[in-house]
Amino acid sequence: MKENLKSFFIKLVAISIAVIMIVNLIFNILLGERLEKIDKIMSLSDSSSRDEVKKKIRSELNKGLKKDQVFSEEDRILIYKIYKKIKKEFSELEKNNN
């Protein structure tokens, strides 16, 4: 009887440790990286984080400038429409101020 009980507790501890390790591994794979990115975004109050973000933005802008076309056709049309609308609003503002 004691042998069976001892064997049961050893198996129970081994299975419990295995389950804890599997849960930890799944958590780190699925959520750990995402939580790390969220923490990075939230830490923009730190000057080194802001500098890193600035460098990343600059490098992406430089990559975009090296391309033949920065925007897709759909984006160009949308930006052009916004530009025309802003231009119209400024001309109306100018007329109202004179």
CA atoms within 13 A on the CB side of 51: 3
59 occurs within a structural domain: no
Question: Residues 52-66: pLDDT tens digits?
Answer: 888 999 999 898 888
- Same domain (yes/no): 40, 78: no
| Residue at which a domain ends, from 30, 45, 60 | 45
Are residue 40 and residue 5 in the same domain, yes or no?
Answer: yes
Q: Is residue 55 part of a domain?
A: no
Give every CB contact of residue 13 below 8 A, 6+ residues apart in sequence. none
Task: Report how far apart the first and last C-alpha atoms of the chain are (Å, whole number).
Answer: 101
Question: 31 in a domain, yes or no?
Answer: yes
Q: Say whether pTM exceeds 0.85.
A: no
Structure tokens at 97: 């101020």
- d(Cα 21, Cα 27) in Å, to the nearest integer? 10
CB contact set of 79 (below 8 Å; sequence gap of 6+):
71
Parent domain of 95: 69-98
Confidence of residue 44 (pLDDT cuts 50, 70, 90): low
The total number of structural domains in the chain stands at 2
